[in-house]
């Protein structure tokens, strides 16, 4: 079993890393399944926004939404899975893992260093001692000196954990009605940026890095369910700002009502890649599979 989690409350870019790891396992000829809580799934649905993103991008990988992860693990194994990916499972002590990957957002590594409710840490930093691999996400969105300080701190305090750098790479813009375009196609366009994710600033930087003029960033609470009222307000705001485009993440797009007003709105399709330490990442997974 491989766990991919974090010690802060969201915002680390976990879902693309789960997808990246599942694709790596598929390329190795394995049959992975994903175990997840499906946090804040809408009433009457068995999938939350992150599950719907993974379902769209990984149609051949089954997901099990389960509050009892042990029961979900047994069900997945019975259905033929030979590797279990525990999504957001670092704090889940009831299941033994062969590999614990913990993600740390380079933009906000430790969320102020305080544990809930005073801060956003789920546990004290010392628990990183039990991590096998530390993945520094959004490593391309900070200055080199900032990244070097973070790496030095992790190396000194948690020497037993290997470290890799992870970036999100833009693939294409996809409109809600279907057509797609290259990432550079919106260069110079004035856009209203909309998102309901843990770290809105990260998405703003991604968009600005593609040459888009960000007229305004409108952020909602993580996992927000969009309503027709939201669509009306966003449409009006885009018009007020003179924004020719309204853009969002794929996590937002799976919840956005598709109506004439939103049909040309776009989301950025991305993927995560290990940009430094790919051999370390691959060796860690190979070692977990051997065990």
CATH number of the domain where residue 125 is located: 3.40.50.300
Assess contact for 8 and 110: CB atoms under 8 A.
yes
**Same domain (yes/no): 126, 256:** no
From CA 103, how far away is CA 5, in angstroms rounded?
Answer: 6
**Same domain (yes/no): 178, 147:** no
Alpha-carbon dihedral sign for residues 145, 149, 150, 152: positive
**Same domain (yes/no): 137, 193:** no
Q: What are the φ/ψ torsions at residue 3 (nearest 5 degrees)?
A: -105, 135
CATH number of the domain where residue 212 is located: 3.40.50
The two tokens of residue 105 are 């957002």
Assess contact for 180 and 173: CB atoms under 8 A.
yes
Residue 4 has pLDDT above 90, yes or no: yes
From CA 134, how far away is CA 234, in angstroms rounded?
Answer: 38
The two tokens of residue 261 are 């007003």
How many domains is the chain built from? 2
Residue 10 has pLDDT above 90, yes or no: no
Alpha-carbon dihedral sign for residues 95, 97, 103, 104: positive
pLDDT digits (tens, 9 = 90+) for 89-123: 888 777 889 999 999 999 999 877 888 888 888 89
Beta bridge partners of 234: none
Can you give the residue range of the structural domain that contains 117?
2-168+272-290
From CA 117, how far away is CA 201, in angstroms rounded?
Answer: 22
pLDDT score, position 188: 97
**Same domain (yes/no): 263, 137:** no
Average pLDDT, the chain: 94
pLDDT digits (tens, 9 = 90+) for 179-238: 899 999 999 999 999 999 989 999 999 999 999 999 999 999 999 999 999 999 999 999
pLDDT score, position 130: 93
**Same domain (yes/no): 201, 236:** yes
From CA 224, how far away is CA 25, in angstroms rounded?
Answer: 31
Cα diameter, the chain: 58
From CA 114, how far away is CA 126, in angstroms rounded?
Answer: 12
pTM of the model: 0.94
User: Which pairing describes strands 180-181 and 162-175: parallel, antiparallel, or unpaired?
Assistant: antiparallel
From CA 244, how far away is CA 73, in angstroms rounded?
Answer: 47
Length of the chain, in residues: 291
The two tokens of residue 198 are 């843990």
The two tokens of residue 163 are 């470290």
**Same domain (yes/no): 79, 215:** no
pLDDT digits (tens, 9 = 90+) for 52-100: 999 999 999 999 998 888 999 999 999 999 999 999 888 877 788 999 9
pLDDT score, position 46: 86
**Same domain (yes/no): 123, 75:** yes
Q: 129-141: string of b/e by CB count within 10 Å (b at 16+)?
A: eebbbbbbbbbbb
pLDDT digits (tens, 9 = 90+) for 223-282: 999 999 999 999 999 999 999 999 999 999 999 999 999 999 999 999 999 999 999 999
**Same domain (yes/no): 125, 219:** no
pLDDT score, position 117: 81
From CA 281, how far away is CA 284, in angstroms rounded?
Answer: 5
pLDDT score, position 92: 76
Q: How far is CA 41 from CA 46, 66, 130, 250, in A?
A: 7, 12, 30, 16
Q: Which residue has the tokens 């004439």?
A: 260
Q: Which residue has the tokens 């209203």?
A: 192
Residue 127 has pLDDT above 80, yes or no: yes
**Same domain (yes/no): 143, 92:** yes
The two tokens of residue 171 are 């693939």
**Same domain (yes/no): 13, 132:** yes
pLDDT score, position 147: 96
Q: How many helices (H) and strands (E) does the chain have?
A: 8, 12
**Same domain (yes/no): 23, 82:** yes
């Amino acid at each position: 079993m491989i766990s991919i989690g974090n010690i802060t409350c969201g915002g680390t870019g976990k879902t693309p890393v789960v997808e990246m790891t599942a694709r790596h396992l598929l390329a190795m000829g394995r049959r992975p399944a994903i175990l997840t809580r499906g946090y804040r799934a809408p009433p009457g649905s068995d999938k939350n926004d992150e599950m719907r993103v993974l379902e769209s991008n990984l149609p051949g990988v089954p997901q099990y939404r389960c509050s009892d992860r042990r029961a979900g693990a047994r069900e997945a194994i019975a259905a033929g899975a030979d590797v279990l990916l525990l999504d957001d499972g670092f704090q889940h002590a009831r299941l033994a893992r062969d590999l614990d990957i913990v993600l740390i957002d380079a933009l906000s590594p430790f969320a102020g260093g305080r544990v809930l409710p005073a801060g956003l840490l789920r546990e004290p930093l010392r628990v990183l001692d039990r991590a096998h691999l530390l993945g520094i996400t959004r490593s391309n969105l900070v200055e080199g000196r900032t990244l070097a300080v973070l790496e030095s701190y992790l190396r000194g305090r948690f020497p037993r954990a290997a470290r890799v750098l992870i970036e999100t790479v833009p693939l294409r813009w996809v409109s809600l009605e279907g057509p797609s375009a290259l990432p550079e196609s919106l260069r110079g366009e004035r856009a209203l940026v909309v998102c309901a994710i843990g770290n809105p600033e990260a998405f703003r930087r991604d968009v600005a890095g593609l040459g888009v003029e960000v007229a305004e960033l409108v952020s909602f609470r993580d996992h927000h369910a969009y309503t027709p009222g939201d669509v009306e307000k966003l449409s009006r705001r885009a018009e007020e700002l003179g924004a020719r485009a309204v853009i969002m993440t794929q996590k937002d797009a799976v919840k956005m009502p598709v109506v004439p007003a939103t049909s040309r709105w776009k989301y950025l399709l991305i993927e995560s890649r290990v940009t430094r330490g790919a051999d370390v990442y691959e060796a860690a997974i190979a070692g977990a599979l051997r065990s």
